Amino acid sequence: MNRSPRAIGFVPPRAAWLFGHAAGTGQRRLQTVLLGLASLLLAAAVAFWWGQRGPSLPMPPVTLVPAPRVEAVVALPNAAERARINRVVRRLNTPWGSIFQALEAQSSASVSLLALETDADRGAVRVLTEGPSLDELLQHAERVQGTSPFVRTKLLRIEAPEAGAATGSPAGLTRLSFDLVIQP
């Protein structure tokens, strides 16, 4: 079966020589000449661009000179600044993870935790709880005191149900405020 090149390819026969199909010797020479001219034009464009960049200056000789020795003067903070820095460090070093674990482990359904704030100067955490009776609140404070990060408890304030109505506490609930001293 004899097939013609026209039936096989998708390139029209007149442009086939551009893509290397059925190129004769003369056409290959023409392609080589065109490729050489394109290369020369590219080289001329690069040379022109390189010339537009400006003359490149020669690098001056580099001499290494040792840097002068400088004595560092460190001003020590005064007592007030040291106290402020120590307060910040104590606040940052508050063991919140163990505090929350201890409070969570000793929580009960009848006692609610209302507020928790740190007093880093004294190494304590102030806790405000609310519950139906003072006995339950005191038992809760004792249970929390017995856990690991705390050393002792210091009771601060008891708000009875009658006094709670003036402070916004729901009727019948007692509030207990105490400090838990954290072990150093």
Annotate 44-87 with DSSP letters as a single string: HHHHHHHHHT-PPPPPPPP---PPPP-----PPP-HHHHHHHHH
Here the tokens at position 144 are: 């929390």
pTM above 0.75, yes or no: no
- For residue 9, what pLDDT is reported? 54
**Mean pLDDT lowest for which of 19-28, 63-72, 108-117?**
19-28
- For residue 164, what pLDDT is reported? 47
Q: Give which of 140, 149, 143 is closest to 175, Cα–Cα.
A: 140
14 band by pLDDT with thresholds 50, 70 and 90: low
Sheet holding 124-131, edge to edge: 112-119, 124-131, 174-182, 150-159
Percent of residues, the chain, with pLDDT higher than 70: 78
**Mean pLDDT lowest for which of 18-27, 61-70, 90-99, 121-130?**
18-27
- For residue 71, what pLDDT is reported? 85
pLDDT at 108 over 60: yes
Percent of residues, the chain, with pLDDT higher than 90: 11
99 band by pLDDT with thresholds 50, 70 and 90: confident
Q: Give which of 75, 50, 183 is closest to 123, Cα–Cα.
A: 183
3-state secondary structure of 90: helix
Query: Is 24 in contact with 13 (CB distance < 8 Å)?
Result: no
Phi-psi region of 8 (alpha: psi -120 to 50; beta: other; left: phi over 0): alpha
Mean pLDDT across 64-68: 87
How far is it, in rounded angstroms, from Cα 15 to Cα 86? Answer: 86
- For residue 171, what pLDDT is reported? 62
Q: Give which of 124, 113, 175 is closest to 152, Cα–Cα.
A: 124
How far is it, in rounded angstroms, from Cα 142 to Cα 106? Answer: 10
